[in-house]
Amino acid sequence: MKRIRFLLFVWLIGLTPAAAFAQQRGTITGRVVNRETTQPLVGAQVAVAGTTMGSVTNQDGRFVIAQVSPGDRELRVTLLGYKGTSQPVTVTAGGTATVNFELTETAVEIEGIIVNATGQEQRQREIGNSVANITTANIELAPVQTLTNLIQGRAAGVVIQPTSGTTGTGSRIRIRGNSSVSLDATPLIIIDGIRVSNESESTGLFTGGTSTSRWDDINPDQVESIEILKGPAASALYGTAAANGVVQITTRRGLGGRTEARVYAEHATLDVPDAVIPTNFRARGFRTDLNARGDCTLVERSRGTCSVIDSLYSYNPLLNAPNSPLRQGNTNKIGGSLSGGSTDGRATFFVGGETQKSDGVTRANELERTNLRANLSGLVNEKLRVSAHSNFITSYIQLPQEGNTGSGPWLNAFQGADPSPANVARGNGFRNPYTAVNVGWWKNEEELRRFVFSVQGDWRPTSWLHVNAVTGVDQNNRFEQGTIPVPGLATGFFAEGLREQFRTQARELTGSLNANLNRELRKNLVSTTAVGVQYNESSADFTYAAGSGLAPGTLTTGEALSVQEFFGETKLLGVYGSQQFGINDRLFLTAAVRGDQNSAFGENIGFVVYPALSGSWVVRDEPWFPEVAALSTMRIRAAFGESGSRPGRLSAVRTYETQAVSLESGITSGFIVSNAGNPDLTAEVSREIEGGIDIGLLNDRLAIEVTRYDKTTRDALVARPLPPSVGGPTSQFFNLGKVKNSGWEANLRIEAVRSDNFDVRLGLSLATNKNRLIAIGDTTIPPITVGLQRHVEGYPLGGYWAPRYEYADANNDGILQFSEVTLTETQDNEDDNLSFIGQPFPKREVSFTADVGFLKMFRLSGLVDYKGGHHLFNWGGRIRCSDAVSFCEERQVPGAASLADQARIIARHNTAVASSMGWIEKADYWKLREVALSFTAPSSWVGRLGVGRSLSISAAGRDLKIWSDYTGWDPESNIPGSIGTDVDPGRFFTAGLFTVPLPRTFVLRVDVGM
């Protein structure tokens, strides 16, 4: 009863009429504009210093802050890309004070605003770790088709690795390297305060490796900004799940003032450049070993069994329509939004929607998606604001077979031949013709219904207390079906047909409550205290069924092959707190801690604790700092923190599965242990130390940021083998391993030219990462391998290993003999006769951006990026040059193969060498990622045209040109590893294997504002 009375009292306080407070408090209004252009600035954050009270400017640059306590105040304004400033203001009881601001553009970002783990807005100058900010206001959205497009190349240390150029497929996302031997490396995603699905590979059906991604369900047109916390030094308060970094997304919301309507239409074409598609060759001649005419490849020439080629045939089944599985792809989008609110900002809204229809560059590859969003916010009273964010997504995706499948169009097209009767009669055919007709014969389809909803309350009972609560759910229901109708595939498989269905219901539920106390303890000393509690529940329900024996012309199965069902969930309870002291608004010291209890931990594990410390010192603002004309800003920062990754949902639990048992009375059901479990299994804990410096030069027109990080993960999950006598499971997970990542990150931004009619902004980012497995933790554990990749102490995770060989053309005849390719005497691992060849993920990256505006109407932007220091297994190239296919140019055409090319073919086929080292290639590349040109019509033109308030037209291209020595068709596009389990070392697997290259995309977009 006491609790009820207390809650009723709090509720009545919240409903106290605003008039009761209006007599004691005042209002601040004003306008924020660009100093040079005098144009209004939208989205500027205006705050009363030392309090949590503030506002955001609307489309006209105006703001209103109500219920400000009387007295002398300091009003601060910040906006990313502009130099923050402040002004004094005197507030009188019941009065209105007016303060106007003129902001100057800047390349320095330390005054930018971020939202921390407790829901509190902080200036970047107050935190000791680096944060990557991406705002859509500065990006021409025409070439940005997905959320991963939006991130790619715009944040140092964030690596996006596409798996395929097939429309609708996802990418791997890694921040500051790989930290786990067994767990996924995908960062945590938070949208409008709640956790959402971060699956980057979420397809259940067999497609050969390609998969859809829940990341790219999110419409980049509805994203306002993205903040990327790159490691535990920044993400400790996010706890278990944040060891791989955190991506915080804020979606668009309305601003006070007039209602603004916006519509846009977009058309894109996609194509695969002809130059990346190799041609099939076949050389024929007299074979001495057969005493007849036959194939005369490099292998036969090296053996001396075929010295004269009498005919050479070539055919490219991918470029010869109408039999090619390729086509020109296209995408059409239509979208729009309504946003606005009351003049004083008390109520705001944003409602938007988009529909998309895409046909990929491979036949039988389609995408249809509809994305609806509604964000509402309003003041319940002068102390309480409630906001609601909702997003509904429906999509249909059809994926072709590609990658690691014998039934994919790419693999079979590379064995195809000219189907003309004359060519067939001459006996010049290749094998397994695969035409456009049967590309989609094996149909894989995914239908998605996804709903993301959150409600947030912000209560400010006093100027120094801010309480916020958020709760929400991400519910996605996925229905997948795979169908092979009778009479089966062109390759002869599944003659009776096949029907598969995979139903998934996955849910992320989040609830958190935070209190932030901000007090000025004495002059120039501000204390900020935050405490909070969070609950998260992640669950998934899978049902799979498959059958064969389809009746011709139907989808009805006559024979059930398999039925499986699985349900799993994890629950997390986290409590956390932080304390910050700000001295003279120049030095900020912060300590924080979080404790998590997770149901995925073993039963013997209680709370896992993650501490954090950070410091930020804007040393240039110190009065004793010497005056240096060129130096306008300098900040030194450092941070330490820990965060974790949970074990797999059931890794700590002993589980069982049914098995038929034969008894004297007959067959009955029994069970065996399927997973040994481990009651002591706990989180993998990553500890990171980060330090850096931010410098602004030439009146903040040139910004330099440098960061050094060192991250060590302990208690990494490793599968220890169990003796066969145990029966059932062959391994058991233990917290044994230790992994280290370290590197440098640097950003340079420059406002090279700044004027009314011409401006130039340039950006350069660089990052390095050194990854090492420090220890497996148990010398009895055999090598952990996936194909040619393995985890070896002292080397990068998932490194490529193969026997090293050498070659020499002893007789200088230009053709290597089998005897001229030999194993190198010394290998890195003598026990397995293997050598380390390279790591699968980039060691270094570079990104260069340019943004040029001219005549107040045109803007030209571009992005070039580089990845290097890594290797990629050219599995597709090896297959094309193998005995099974052998239609590659270097094996068939005399003089086409260098000695190195010959050596890698012979080394693979010579049983005395048996090495694929030559097919593990350097995958460094430079790429012209984006180019966009936009035209924004002057308002006077728009008025005369009568099309609304604004009009812009953009033309753009994406993935336009790549420069690389990799001999496969795309060093970016690579088949991912095994998919669908929580703990899976196959996630490190990478290979270039008959996956669609990233297509060139050309986009035309029209935006109209009304």
Q: Closest by alpha carbon to 191, among 403, 393, 391, 341?
A: 391
pLDDT of residue 3: 43
Confidence band for 555, pLDDT divided at 50, 70 and 90:
low
Residues of the chain with pLDDT > 70: what percent?
90
Q: Which residue has the higher pLDDT, 715 or 10?
A: 715
Which residues lie closer than 8 Å to 194 by C-beta, 6 or more apart? 452, 454, 470, 471, 472, 473, 474, 508, 510
> Is the pLDDT assigned to residue 503 strictly greater than 70?
yes
Mean pLDDT of 816-827: 91
Cα→Cα distances 679→184, 657, 983, Å: 22, 19, 17
The whole-angstrom separation of Cα 541 and Cα 526 is 49
The continuous run of DSSP H or E covering 627 comes out as none
Residues 765, 149 contacting (CB under 8 angstroms) = no
The whole-angstrom separation of Cα 548 and Cα 556 is 9
The whole-angstrom separation of Cα 681 and Cα 715 is 9
H, E, C per residue of 509-562: EEEEEEEEEEEEEECCEEEEEEEEEEEEEEEEEEEEEEEECCCCCCCCCCEEEE
Averaged pLDDT score across all residues of the chain: 86
pLDDT of residue 880: 86
Residues of the chain with pLDDT > 90: what percent?
49
Confidence band for 55, pLDDT divided at 50, 70 and 90:
confident
Q: Which residues of 14-50 are buried (b: 16+ CB within 10 A; e: fewer)?
A: eeeeeeeeeeebbbbbbbbbbeeeeebbbbbbbbbeb
Most confident of 95-109, 250-264, 683-697: 683-697
Q: CB 851: neighbour CB atoms within 10 A? A: 19
The continuous run of DSSP H or E covering 939 comes out as helix 939-945
Which residues lie closer than 8 Å to 39 by C-beta, 6 or more apart? 33, 61
Indicate the Cα dihedral angle 289, 293, 298, 301, nearest 10°. Answer: 50
> Is the pLDDT assigned to residue 362 strictly greater than 60?
yes
Confidence band for 411, pLDDT divided at 50, 70 and 90:
confident
Interval 79-127: pLDDT, tens: 877 888 889 999 988 888 999 999 888 877 777 778 888 888 888 889 9
Q: How many residues belong to the chain?
A: 1010
Q: Kind of pairing, strands 26-34 and 101-103? A: parallel
Q: CB 92: neighbour CB atoms within 10 A? A: 13
Residues 335, 298 contacting (CB under 8 angstroms) = no
> Is the pLDDT assigned to residue 406 strictly greater than 60?
yes
Residues 672, 660 contacting (CB under 8 angstroms) = no
Residues 80, 132 contacting (CB under 8 angstroms) = no
Q: Closest by alpha carbon to 770, among 176, 15, 20, 338?
A: 176
Confidence band for 35, pLDDT divided at 50, 70 and 90:
confident
pLDDT of residue 6: 38
Q: Closest by alpha carbon to 299, among 910, 763, 939, 973?
A: 910
The DSSP secondary-structure symbol of 994 reads: S
Confidence band for 10, pLDDT divided at 50, 70 and 90:
very low
Q: DSSP assignment of 785-823, as one string?
A: EETTEEE-TTS-TTEEEE--EEE--TT-SSS--GGGEEE
The whole-angstrom separation of Cα 694 and Cα 131 is 12
Q: Where are the beta strands (DSSP E) in 698-757?
A: 702-721, 731-754
The DSSP secondary-structure symbol of 199 reads: -
Q: Which residue has the higher pLDDT, 411 or 150?
A: 150
Which residues lie closer than 8 Å to 262 by C-beta, 6 or more apart? 336, 337, 338, 339, 1007, 1008, 1009, 1010
Residues 384, 458 contacting (CB under 8 angstroms) = yes
pLDDT of residue 379: 85
Residues 66, 344 contacting (CB under 8 angstroms) = yes
Mean pLDDT of 158-171: 90
The whole-angstrom separation of Cα 418 and Cα 317 is 7
pLDDT of residue 534: 97
- Tokens at 648, concatenated: 């797999």
The continuous run of DSSP H or E covering 979 comes out as none
Cα→Cα distances 226→229, 310, 401, 706, Å: 10, 62, 34, 20
Interval 577-600: pLDDT, tens: 999 999 999 999 999 999 999 999
Residues 872, 992 contacting (CB under 8 angstroms) = yes
503, HSE (Cβ side, Cα atoms, 13 Å): 5
Q: Closest by alpha carbon to 606, among 573, 576, 577, 578?
A: 573
Q: Where are the beta strands (DSSP E) in 49-145?
A: 54-56, 62-68, 71-78, 85-91, 96-98, 101-103, 113-115, 121-123, 131-135
pLDDT of residue 553: 67
- Residue 9, class by beta-carbon neighbours within 10 Å (0-12 exposed, 13-18 middle, 19+ buried)? exposed
Confidence band for 140, pLDDT divided at 50, 70 and 90:
confident
Q: Which residue has the higher pLDDT, 26 or 771?
A: 771
Distance from chain centroid for Cα 43:
26
Confidence band for 996, pLDDT divided at 50, 70 and 90:
confident
Confidence band for 335, pLDDT divided at 50, 70 and 90:
very high
Q: Which amino acid is at 402?
A: E
Backbone angles phi, psi at 770, to 5 degrees: -110, 115
Distance from chain centroid for Cα 964:
23
- Tokens at 692, concatenated: 């850096």
Q: Which residue has the higher pLDDT, 431 or 795?
A: 795
Q: Closest by alpha carbon to 728, among 652, 656, 670, 803?
A: 656
pLDDT of residue 418: 59
Q: CB 146: neighbour CB atoms within 10 A? A: 20
Interval 636-683: pLDDT, tens: 999 999 999 999 888 888 877 777 666 676 677 667 777 788 899 999
Which residues lie closer than 8 Å to 488 by C-beta, 6 or more apart? 494, 495, 496, 497
> Is the pLDDT assigned to residue 403 strictly greater than 90?
no
Confidence band for 820, pLDDT divided at 50, 70 and 90:
very high
Least confident of 302-311, 414-423, 924-933: 414-423
Q: What is the pTM of this model?
A: 0.90
Distance from chain centroid for Cα 220:
13
pLDDT of residue 201: 77
Confidence band for 22, pLDDT divided at 50, 70 and 90:
very low
- Residue 555, class by beta-carbon neighbours within 10 Å (0-12 exposed, 13-18 middle, 19+ buried)? exposed
The residue whose two tokens read 């090279």 is 752
pLDDT of residue 51: 65
Q: Which residue has the higher pLDDT, 463 or 475?
A: 475
pLDDT of residue 708: 97
pLDDT of residue 437: 63
Q: Closest by alpha carbon to 959, among 926, 925, 1000, 931?
A: 1000
Q: Which residue has the higher pLDDT, 809 or 670?
A: 809
The whole-angstrom separation of Cα 853 and Cα 850 is 10
pLDDT of residue 25: 77
Mean pLDDT of 313-317: 80
Residues 756, 777 contacting (CB under 8 angstroms) = no
Q: Which residue has the higher pLDDT, 752 or 318?
A: 752
Distance from chain centroid for Cα 34:
34
Q: For the chain, what is the radius of gyration of the CA atoms?
A: 31
Q: Where are the beta strands (DSSP E) in 413-495?
A: 443-462, 465-484
Confidence band for 557, pLDDT divided at 50, 70 and 90:
low
Residues 892, 297 contacting (CB under 8 angstroms) = yes
Mean pLDDT of 701-713: 95
The DSSP secondary-structure symbol of 16 reads: S
Mean pLDDT of 205-210: 83
728, HSE (Cβ side, Cα atoms, 13 Å): 16
pLDDT of residue 17: 39
Q: Closest by alpha carbon to 734, among 792, 775, 692?
A: 775
> Is the pLDDT assigned to residue 561 strictly greater than 70?
no
Interval 898-923: pLDDT, tens: 999 999 999 988 888 999 999 999 99
Q: What helix, strand, coil percent values describe the chain, rounded to 5?
A: 10, 50, 40
Q: Closest by alpha carbon to 961, among 362, 273, 328?
A: 273
Interval 729-782: pLDDT, tens: 778 889 999 999 999 999 999 998 988 789 999 999 999 999 999 999 888 888
